[in-house]
């Protein structure tokens, strides 16, 4: 059962729709029983809505316009072309802020935006970061499993009706990676299945959702924020495994899982 402190920590993520499905359900159950959290939630929700709806635009002050002009390259032709193109001093009118100033700001914004685009992480990098965050949250709130069982015939049916696909669930206890349960999570913009295994004292989260494995590369293991992560696709499913176990141990888990007839 989620306590008051945990609910307050998850409140911003709930308002911004960043929590996993299971976390959202836990938060809503707590909200139904806690008047103080409902009051804080309503206040934060209203502030969030006002910020999204508010017109935060403002006219650029003359001093800013002058600084932008001064920052443009020394060749007079650039500013002259802007003036000629957008009206400048034609018909006795002085050069105004709009649209020349807007055009100049657009140039600055375009350059800055291009820099951000170049520096933006790839889709796989963002997904890896999201995966690590999900793994850490499951450990922080002690919520590794929604269904706790070492029996695949208990874990697999538990997902029925909760997902739009049937995740493969295998038992690797004899190989040293016992199944301990499963849960729902939200990753990569969709609900996913998570099967939870252990290697000695190390939990291993295995995330699964449908995907296209045509031309998929073989599994690879790398380190992210101190955790080892493995990614591969097979039989129409995406697989991501993450653990604080060593690289060799996680590789053994992946190799054993791929050798299982159910996959």
The confidence score (pLDDT) of residue 194 equals 96
Task: Write down the pLDDT at residue 120.
Answer: 44
Phi, psi of 61, deg, nearest 5: -70, 155
Domains of the chain from N-terminus onward: 4-53 (no CATH), 62-119 (no CATH), 123-258 (3.30.200.100)
Least confident of 104-118, 146-160, 199-213: 104-118
| Residue with token string 């101190």 | 226
Q: Is the pLDDT of residue 222 over 60?
A: yes
pLDDT confidence bin for 97, thresholds 50/70/90: very low
Asked whether the whole model's pTM tops 0.75, one would answer no
* Contacts (Cβ under 8 Å, ≥6 apart) of 40: 8, 11
Please give the average per-residue pLDDT across 157-172, as a whole number. 93
**Residue 82: what pLDDT?**
57
| Band (257; pLDDT cuts 50, 70, 90) | very high
Torsion on CA atoms 187, 190, 195, 199, rounded to nearest 10: -10
Q: Are 149 and 157 within 8 A, CB to CB?
A: no
pLDDT at 215: 64
Backbone angles phi, psi at 23, to 5 degrees: -65, -40
Per residue in 3-40, pLDDT (tens digit) is: 877 888 888 888 888 888 778 888 888 888 888 888 88
- Backbone torsion region of residue 257, taken as left when φ is above 0, otherwise alpha when ψ lies between -120 and 50, otherwise beta: alpha
| pLDDT-above-90 percentage for the chain | 37
Percentage of the chain with pLDDT > 70? 75
Pick the more confident residue, 76 or 210. Answer: 210
Closest CA to 102 of 116, 82, 75: 82
Please state, rounded to an integer, the average pLDDT across all residues of the chain.
80
Q: Is the pLDDT of residue 94 over 60?
A: no
Q: Specify the pLDDT at position 205.
A: 96
Retrieve residue 126's tokens: 């963002």
Taking CA atoms, 53 is separated from 39, 43, 46, 57, in Å, by 21, 16, 11, 12
Per-residue buried b or exposed e for 36-61, using 16+ beta carbons within 10 Å of the residue's own CB:
ebeeebeeeeeeeeeeeeeeeeeeee
Give pLDDT tens digits for 103-152.
555 555 555 554 444 444 456 788 889 999 999 988 887 778 889 999 99
Residue identified by tokens 């609910």 is 7
Cα–Cα separations (whole angstroms), residue 191 to 159, 186, 196, 236:
11, 4, 16, 16
């Amino acid at each position: 059962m989620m306590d008051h402190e945990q609910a307050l920590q998850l409140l911003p993520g709930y308002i911004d729709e960043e929590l996993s499905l299971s976390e959202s359900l836990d938060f809503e159950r707590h909200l139904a029983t806690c008047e103080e959290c409902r009051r804080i939630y309503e206040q934060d929700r209203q502030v969030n809505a006002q910020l999204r709806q508010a017109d935060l635009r403002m006219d650029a002050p003359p001093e800013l316009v002058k600084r932008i002009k001064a920052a443009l390259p020394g060749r007079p032709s650039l500013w002259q072309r802007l003036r000629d193109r957008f009206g400048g001093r034609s018909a006795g009118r002085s050069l105004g802020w709009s649209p020349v100033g807007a055009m100049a700001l657009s140039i600055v914004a375009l350059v800055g935006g291009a820099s951000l685009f170049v520096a933006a992480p790839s889709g796989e990098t963002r997904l890896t970061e999201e995966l690590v965050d999900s793994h850490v949250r499951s450990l922080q709130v002690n919520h590794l499993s929604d269904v706790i069982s070492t029996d695949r015939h208990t874990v697999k049916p538990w997902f029925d009706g909760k997902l739009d696909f049937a995740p493969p669930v295998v038992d690797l206890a004899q190989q040293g990676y016992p199944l301990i349960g499963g849960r729902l999570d939200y990753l990569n913009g969709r609900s996913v299945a998570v099967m939870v295994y252990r290697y000695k004292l190390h939990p291993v989260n295995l995330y699964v959702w449908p995907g296209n494995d045509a031309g998929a590369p073989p599994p690879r293991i790398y380190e992210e924020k101190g955790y080892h992560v493995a990614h591969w696709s097979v039989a129409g499913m995406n697989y991501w495994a993450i653990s604080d176990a060593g690289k060799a141990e996680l590789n053994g888990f992946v190799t054993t899982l791929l050798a299982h007839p159910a996959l």
